[in-house]
Amino acid sequence: MTSIFGNLPTVAYEGPETHNPLAYRWYDKDRVVLGRTMREHLRFTVCYWHSFVMNGSDPFGAPTIMRPWSGRDGLDAARQKADAAFDLFRVLDVPFYSFHDRDVVSEGATFQESVSNLDAIADVLGQKQDETGVHLLWGTANLFSHPRYMAGAATNPDPEVFAYAAATVKHCLDVTRRLGGANYVLWGGREGYETLLNTDLGRELDQMGRFLNLVVEYKHKTGYTGTILIEPKPKEPTKHQYDFDTATVYGFLKRYGLENEVKLNLEANHAQLAGHSFEHEIALASALGILGSLDVNRGDPLIGWDTDQFPNSLPDTALALYYVLKSGGLGNGGLNFDAKIRRQSIDAEDLVHAHVGGIDLCARALLVAAGMIEDGRLARHVEDRYAGWNSARGKALASSMSLEDIARDVAGRSDGPQPKSGRQEYLENLLNSYF
């Protein structure tokens, strides 16, 4: 059967002056930036979830985006969806994809049938990976859509749901390892609460810690070398989600002894819902040593929910990538387009335009971020601002002096410290000069 993208050629780099809407103006995959190619820096990833499962439905209306596999379950529909997916990867010339288990094939009537379905479609995906050279950035299990998970998966009050979720993750991790997935993601969409009136917070957090430790133990037992990632989100679909943001997850990891085992998959829209900028979450995760991968998208600042739109802000994206570059890059991670076309964008070509725009934006943002690194003025200002801590006195304050020593030292001085300007306005002007 002909793919829904069958008439489209592979998108190529044509340069900033092109007027071809299906060409890259900035993404030249082999261009070397700070010692690595754009392809190596950005590791673009198309996600199955939004690209091939989302159907345009919302709480007020029926699906609007109809594909040949829409409304169908089973392996035939899954194979047809895989054909279209890998054809889109060809059109976009991207190196990676990502999936939930239920994205690539429907759930079976029993656990055993679900395992069989996923194993069967994994054979198809593996063959297509071999044929195309496209790799799996990460896999994950959908532990939020089925009614059994309405009160959570790892945090469910019913231990049988915990067990079912654990068995599901075990198998999905097996499939991810089998397909060479660079990472495995855990997103706790229903790991939270709707009301405290029926919730034992301490028990639920301990259950989540136990669940994650089981995953990490199994990773090491099987020799899986990929990275385990948690994706923070503060709310939606729950009122309060336990993996609220970077700082919250780090505290959770420390409590359960996992801070050296698990990193974060950070999403721009989720950061916004938590009251943070994307660059805040990236910079903090980098400072804490848990930066893993990114979901690049955007939210609408006038709307209080997760709109998952494709990124289109150069300043926001450039600043995010600046902190990625400062951290040394994403390692096993990449830039995953966890974004969906709009309800009225019903043509297959709309999906291509969306990804082309997102890819080009990130490529241009990479060039801006690299320019900021090479220029060095922003980094030098930060270094100069904290220079006092590199003096002998600063080092002693940070390490060897007791509180009594510090008090005696301050009492023996004739004058106190003098305020120094943070120069925020200058730095904001400097930032604008890079665009």
User: Which secondary-structure segment (H or E) carries 45?
Assistant: strand 44-47
Rounded Cα distance between 99 and 142, Å, is 9
> Which tokens in the block code for residue 106?
């429907």
Residue 200 marked in a binding site: no
List beta partners, residue 241. 192
CB 332 within 8 A of CB 294: no
287 closest CA partner among 313, 252, 319, 259: 259
Rounded Cα distance between 320 and 278, Å, is 6
Alpha-carbon Rg for the chain, nearest whole angstrom, is: 24
Rounded Cα distance between 168 and 71, Å, is 24
Residue 113 marked in a binding site: no
Residue 158 marked in a binding site: no
Annotated catalytic residue within 28, 41, 83, 100: 100
DSSP state of 9: P
69 closest CA partner among 117, 103, 108: 103
List beta partners, residue 136. 97
Query: To which residue do tokens 């698990």 refer?
Result: 262
DSSP state of 8: P
Rounded Cα distance between 365 and 363, Å, is 5
CA 196 to chain centroid: 29
Rounded Cα distance between 356 and 365, Å, is 14
Say whether 103 is catalytic: yes
CB 250 within 8 A of CB 291: no
Say whether 100 is catalytic: yes
Residue 267 marked in a binding site: yes
Residue 101 marked in a binding site: no
Please give the sequence-ordered ranges of beta strands (E in DSSP) within 248-345, or none if there are none.
262-267, 291-295, 335-337
List beta partners, residue 37. 32
Query: To which residue do tokens 């730095």 refer?
Result: 427
Residue 270 marked in a binding site: yes
Residue 50 marked in a binding site: no
Annotated catalytic residue within 83, 87, 101, 103: 103
Q: Which parts are annotated binding residues for Mg(2+)?
A: 231, 267, 270, 295, 306, 308, 338
Catalytic residues: 100, 103
